[in-house]
Structure 1
Amino acid sequence: MSTEKEENQVKSKKRVSDHGEVFTNKREVNAMLDLVKQETERVDSRFLEPACGTGNFLVEILERKLIVVEARYKKSQLEYERNAITAISSIYGVDILEDNVIACRDRLLGIFTKYYINHYKKGFNEQFLKSTQFILSKNIIWGDALTMKTIYGMPITFSEWSAVNGSMLKRRDFQLDKLLENLEFDNSEINLFSDNKEPVFIPQPVAEFPLTHFLKIGEYE
């Protein structure tokens, strides 16, 4: 009779065999992120992890961003919330395994909540965390980055979240395959995942949404 530990090991080996699932430890994650340290500490710098697993890279990126938000804006809850939303909305991931996607969203939300409660336990705002949950549901996708389709066969679609006038967010949805098409550069446009402002092609969004206060983003659907 196999033990629970042995069953977990068999499950892990099968996942490695079927999906190439390998988890990177914290030390290696941070060593790699340090190669782009300046970007990881920019609150609005966008990151996409195409095989995010349970979020080892994304969790470290979020923590680095939240440390910056904390240092700059903790004296004002409103400014903290605005910039924390920018930080979480700039993080994207895809994974082919549903349990990994759920775990990744939960880990990111958990760290986000921990930092928030640490400073604003008395002023805790449920709407703020509801908005965060909604953003994570759109940014961490259950799908295959190689085929660029969701597990249901639909094109992977990411939401671009742009701050307008401080507290308002503009959401536009883009298909991943269109973002990565090899088309001619356009000097007048900036790509969703272009943080260095270089001129690149950007396709038309597949959906646009009206300006919404960041505390009401969770009411979209």
Structure 2
Amino acid sequence: MTEKIIKSKHRVQKHGEVFTPSWMVQKMLDIPGVKEATEDVYATFLEPSAGDGNFLEAILERKLFAVTQKYDKRNWKTKSLFAVSSIYGIEFLEDNLEVARSRMFLHYLDWIERCFGERLTSRSDLYKSAHYLINRNIVRGNTLTKRHPVTDELIMFSEWKRVKGHPSLVERVRFAFAELFGEVIIDDEDKVVKRQLSLFELSEENAAENETNNVRIQKVYTLGD
């Protein structure tokens, strides 16, 4: 069966939408340096044009495989959430966004079922935390304007930082995508952020200037919005 790489000529003309075929995704992820990062549970990936999530799902698949190869099984659930938390995406079209999120989440649920012989229910912490992370890391936006295409709000992300000495604890550091490019952001208190941030590598001082929360990663959904 031939893999479909366009949905319609209209979408190609209006949005330049052409999906990357699976074989090419795998080939690109096998590039030296990239390949090693996909096998690192904590290495951060950002897909600026996420489409229907083919790259995101492929990266998650590799990271989850790395979890089973590098860690004791008793740690797989915690490490798997760190893997999910390290993958980010921005997608302009709402229908693609929903498909990308769904692909990521269903892949995760299938992986848990294969590894542990159980299908997570919507009441479980693992289910709610994975869903929470995916929906906050994969967002709708225009990468060029760094804003939501309808509301014009800034694209916001959270970094899920490991807390030293606490292997299951994370600190949430919220920031605007535009800050990564040195743009000046003025918040509700007219506070100006002028320094350029390195992608998902905020210093302790920068972290103090952002909203922070500490929580066990399996309870990360309790942070809310």
Specify which of 183, 189, 192 is matched with residue 199 of structure 2: 192
Unaligned runs of 5+ in 1: 1-8
Give the whole-Å Cα distance in 1 for the aligned partners of 2:61 and 2:72. Answer: 15
Map 1:125-140 to 2 at 5 A: 126-140=124-138
Matched, 1:57 2:66: no
How far, CA to CA, are the matches of 1:96 and 1:157 in structure 2?
A: 14
Q: 1:207 deviation in Å?
A: 4.1
Alpha-carbon shift at residue 192 of structure 1 (Å): 3.4
Task: Tell me whether 1:108 sits opposite 2:104 in the alignment.
Answer: yes
Aligned length, in residue pairs: 203
- Specify the SS of the correspondent of 2:161: strand
The percentage of aligned residue pairs carrying the same residue is 35
TM value normalised by structure 1: 0.82
Distance 1:75 1:10 in 2: 40
Q: Which amino acid aligns with 2:215?
A: T
Deviation, 1:191, is 2.4
CA RMSD of aligned residues (A): 2.8
Secondary structure of 2:30's aligned partner = helix
Partner of 2:79: 83
Q: Aligned-pair distance for 1:37?
A: 0.7
4+ residue stretches of structure 1 with deviation over 6 A?
none
Kept in 2: contact 1:174–1:205 (CA 8 A): no
TM-superposed deviation, 1:107: 0.3
Quick one: distance in 2 between partners of 1:182 and 1:24? Answer: 31
Counterpart check, 1:216 vs 2:222: no
> 2:101 aligns to what SS in structure 1?
helix
What amino acid is aligned across from residue 215 of structure 1 in structure 2? Q
Pair 1:172 & 2:173 matched: yes
Tell me which amino acid in the other structure corresponds to 2:37: E
Structure 2 contact 6–17 (Cα < 8 Å) conserved: no
What residue ranges of structure 2 are gaps of 5+ in the alignment?
185-194
